[in-house]
């Protein structure tokens, strides 16, 4: 075998391994899809199912739960986290509806019953909640209404990013957000005992795929650009995103104060415990002028 052949075979093998590595990265960060089995009717709520146009010709699945009043009613858009769906967030719909608000629960792309659109990412979540806000603004009953955004986990980071880019968001409730995507991913990759050099390679590759530098979309940074009132909510027993992330977000924007709510005993997915504090969420919205 000639030297040239050996070089070609070695290069081909190396590129194949590299391709398999990046394929593994895509597979490892693919969001699981869980379709809803229940609906707001299970909670005694009257609703209608709607399809909201999003990017790439994809439609977002959503439930619209309107208050009894027809016009001038404030609205809240509720966005789930990674691998979740609107059904998981339904316990939070009831208290907002009871407080006289219109509620819109949205499935992000590649989640629940929404359309498929390549890979999932936090910036795509933010785009989707933005499309939901645009759709609400086009509805006669919410055309001139105040609109709040509520997100959980990746959805929490997404509503902060969306609000940092818009002037028509009147309040944000961020529940269990991570502080910085690089911190979150490093924690996850370190559990696989990968060397730091390989972790750094994965992080830079993910930045390239999603088309955003992590620093530019990190909640601890985007929060500083949000002009409306913000409530940061976190559970003291969150093992997925530690309270230290909550503290980093809270303290990063020098000279600016945000409302905070630490929920004792709540883990990362403790939507039920957040529901137990729904009075605090509604009190915050009243403070925000809702």
CATH number at residue 254: 3.40.50.1820
pLDDT value, residue 6: 41
Rounded Cα distance between 184 and 29, Å, is: 12
Model confidence, pTM? 0.89
Return d(Cα 139, Cα 108) in angstroms, integer: 20
Beta bridge partners of 235: 263
Q: How many separate domains does the chain show?
A: 1
| Distance between CA atoms of residues 192 and 210, nearest Å | 22
Per-residue pLDDT in tens (0 to 9) along the chain, 290 residues: 554 444 333 333 333 333 434 444 444 457 889 999 999 999 999 999 999 999 889 999 999 999 876 677 999 999 999 999 999 999 999 999 999 999 999 999 999 999 999 999 999 999 999 999 999 999 988 888 999 999 999 999 999 999 999 999 999 999 999 999 999 999 999 988 889 999 999 999 999 999 999 999 999 999 999 999 999 999 999 999 999 999 999 999 988 889 999 999 999 999 999 999 999 999 999 999 99
Contact assessment for residue 122 and residue 237, using Cβ atoms and an 8 Å cutoff: no
Measure the CA–CA gap between 176 and 262, rounded to whole angstroms: 10
* d(C-alpha 146, C-alpha 137), whole Å: 10
The pLDDT value recorded for residue 29 is 57
Whether residue 204 is contained in a domain is answered as no
Question: What pLDDT is attached to residue 74?
Answer: 95
In a domain, 269, yes or no: yes
Report yes or no on 190 lying in a domain: no
Domain assignment present for 5: no
Structure token digits, residue 126? 């933010």
187: in domain:
no
Q: Which domain holds residue 235?
A: 31-180+218-287
Query: 78 in helix, strand or coil?
Result: strand
With respect to residue 151, please indicate whether it lies within any of the assigned structural domains.
yes
In 133-228, where do the E strands start and end? 147-152, 171-175
In a domain, 12, yes or no: no
Q: If you search the block for the tokens 């590299």, which residue do you land on? A: 18
Residue 267 lies in a domain: yes
Residues 6+ apart with CB under 8 A from 92: 78, 150, 271, 274, 275, 278, 281
């Amino acid at each position: 075998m000639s030297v040239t052949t050996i070089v070609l075979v070695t290069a081909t093998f190396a590129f194949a391994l590299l391709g398999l590595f990046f394929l593994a990265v895509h597979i490892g960060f693919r969001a699981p899809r869980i379709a809803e089995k229940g609906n707001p009717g299970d909670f005694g709520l009257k609703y209608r199912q709607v399809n909201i146009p999003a990017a790439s010709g994809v439609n977002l699945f959503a439930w619209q739960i309107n208050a009894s009043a027809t016009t001038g009613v404030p609205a809240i858009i509720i966005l789930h986290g990674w691998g979740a769906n609107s059904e998981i967030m339904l316990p939070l719909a009831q208290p907002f509806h009871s407080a006289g608000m219109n509620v819109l629960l949205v499935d992000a792309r590649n989640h629940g019953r929404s359309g498929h659109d390549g890979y999932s990412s936090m910036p795509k979540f933010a785009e989707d909640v933005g499309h939901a806000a645009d759709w609400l603004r086009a509805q006669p009953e919410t055309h001139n209404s105040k609109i709040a955004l509520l997100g959980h986990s990746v959805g929490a980071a997404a509503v902060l990013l969306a609000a940092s880019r818009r002037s028509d968001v009147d309040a944000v409730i961020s529940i269990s957000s991570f502080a910085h995507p690089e911190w979150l991913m490093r924690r996850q990759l370190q559990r696989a005992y990968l060397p730091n050099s390989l972790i750094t390679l994965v992080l830079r590759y993910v930045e390239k795929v999603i088309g955003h530098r992590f620093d530019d979309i990190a909640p601890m940074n985007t929060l500083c650009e949000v002009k409306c009132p913000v409530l940061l909510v976190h559970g003291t027993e969150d093992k997925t995103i530690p309270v230290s992330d909550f503290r980093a977000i809270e303290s990063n924007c020098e000279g600016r104060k945000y409302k905070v709510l630490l929920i004792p005993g709540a883990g990362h997915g403790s939507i039920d415990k957040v529901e137990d504090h729904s009075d605090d969420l509604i009190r915050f919205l009243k403070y925000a002028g809702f």
